[in-house]
Structure 1
Amino acid sequence: MLACCNTFAQAPLGRQQHGANQRLARHCHDSAFATVVLEGGYLEAGDEGRRTVGPGDVLVHHAYESHLDCFCSRGAQVLILPIASDFAVPLFGRVTDPDALVRMARHSPRDAWFALAGDMQACEQRHLDWPDLLAEDLRNDPGLSLQHWADVHGLRPETVSRGFQLAYGSSPKAFRAAVRARAAFTRIRESRQPLADIAATLGYADQAHMSRAVKALTGHMPRTLRVS
């Protein structure tokens, strides 16, 4: 299934091996999961920024979050664990004994997740080059003018577009659209705020515009996403 130019799939659970210098184009999983790095390393550029990770690092991904991955010359071995709903953890951190999680996950991935959540230490490490500053501004300001942003930072608009595409695997406009749709999805699921108010808060022209964006991201209309 395709939406917002991202490939959708349920995250495969368990231990995975990625090859040397492998690159996974920007994609989106329809379920939440945590990635524990066991060996090697890679750079991930996602909706919440870019981070370079190595053994012991943990990346938490929410449902419908998009990212690309560029693996190092040694490749990487990772453990993928399902995230229990309604369990808040940092987006990025470290664990002291990833091998213990591997052993636990053989018998119960759910127990391994709870052990990870209890052991994980938050970390704010991330890249802070201009593409990352733009990504943050696109997340925070749905009405951001890319022309104005380029002028303020002394960059040509074409440089901004090309450089952001290279760093994040997405044009700035497509990145903003996907992040805003995911923000709408989250508010729809987690609040009782009227849909029209959510649309206005997030800068959509109207509720119908938001509904189309959310359906493109998730495959579902907003009214069917409300948790009763």
Structure 2
Amino acid sequence: MSRRPATSTINGMHDHVDHETRHSAGDALCTHRHVPAYAALVLEGGYVEASADGPVECTPGTLVLHPRYHAHGNRFGRRGARVANLALPAGTEPAVLQVLRVPDRAEAGEVFLRGAQHLHALILASNGARSMSLQGWQVEFLHDLQYNDEPIARIARRAGVSDEHASRMFLRTHGMSPQSLRRELRGRQALSLLAGEASLADIAARSGFADQSHLTRSVRAMTGLPPGRLRRQINCVQDAEPAPMR
């Protein structure tokens, strides 16, 4: 029996992160989105996390730092998994997904028990983990998906695959269909630009949205907030003193 993260929920939006989750062998979580930035430490078993960042193999000792509003799905292996999770304090949130390997899994587990304020030293002591590789055509496909408005079928043909094959592959490696992945990539670009001073109309154009209304709908779907309100929230976080990490 798996115990899924408690949530408010691409399938749902999670606004709370449990301290620990357990998942059965062969279990799977469809693509879902977490509101808070959080750290996940694999204590036992393993899984593959699929997101717009690509597939991440999470084995015991893997530490994954998720940015706010990160959407991903999980496929658990034959041993299931036990995972420790901690929401990250404001001011310590990563801008992008980070995947690390901790030097000592047992010691890292103790750090998680003591709380997020103790994570900083663990993160500094950890090493970068090697990412799972994509097929060559997928890299070109992803670029075209984000930066031009051509139909999916045309992008697939240029990459030398059928649109059906592309859909199957991206559902497996990224947890989303190409069309959903296009929205996610453009939405992420918009979220990163909201931290700056560009106008909403300029952000919409630079992120690949048809207009500001399209941007607003997409950002609201990702975060539950319209872009203007989200920008004010981001600015408040940036202006706040970072929480000390001891």
Give the TM-score normalised by the residue count of structure 1: 0.87
Paired residues of 1:180 and 1:202 also in contact (CA < 8 A):
yes
2:209 alignment partner AA: Y
Q: Choose which of 53, 64, 83 in structure 2 pairs with 1:59.
A: 64
1:74 alignment partner AA: R
- Provide the aligned length of Structure 1 versus Structure 2: 224
| Matched residue SS, 2:80 | strand
Percent of paired sites with the same residue: 30
2:3 is aligned to none
Q: Choose which of 111, 116, 119 in structure 2 pairs with 1:113.
A: 119
In the TM superposition, what are the counterparts of 1:34-113 in structure 2 within 5 Å?
34-87=39-92, 88=94, 91-107=98-114, 109-113=115-119
Gap change, CA 1:136 and 1:221, over 3 Å in 2: same
- Aligned-residue offset at 1:11: 4.2
C-alpha distance after superposition, 1:190-217 (max 9, x if no partner): 2121111111111111111101111111
Gap change, CA 1:75 and 1:44, over 3 Å in 2: same
Gap change, CA 1:134 and 1:46, over 3 Å in 2: farther
Superposition misfits of 4+ residues, deviation over 6 angstroms = none
2:169 is aligned to 163
**Aligned partners of 1:132 and 1:51: how far apart in 2?**
16
- Aligned-residue offset at 1:22: 0.7
**More displaced 10-residue stretch of structure 1: 71-80 or 161-170:** 161-170
2:13 alignment partner AA: F
Give the TM-score normalised by the residue count of structure 2: 0.81
**Aligned partners of 1:92 and 1:11: how far apart in 2?**
21
Structure 2: give runs of 5+ residues left out of the alignment.
1-7, 237-246
Gap change, CA 1:33 and 1:49, over 3 Å in 2: same
Gap change, CA 1:58 and 1:136, over 3 Å in 2: farther
2:224 is aligned to 219
2:183 is aligned to 177
Gap change, CA 1:138 and 1:93, over 3 Å in 2: farther
**Aligned partners of 2:35 and 2:145: how far apart in 1?**
20
Gap change, CA 1:114 and 1:49, over 3 Å in 2: same
Gap change, CA 1:215 and 1:16, over 3 Å in 2: same
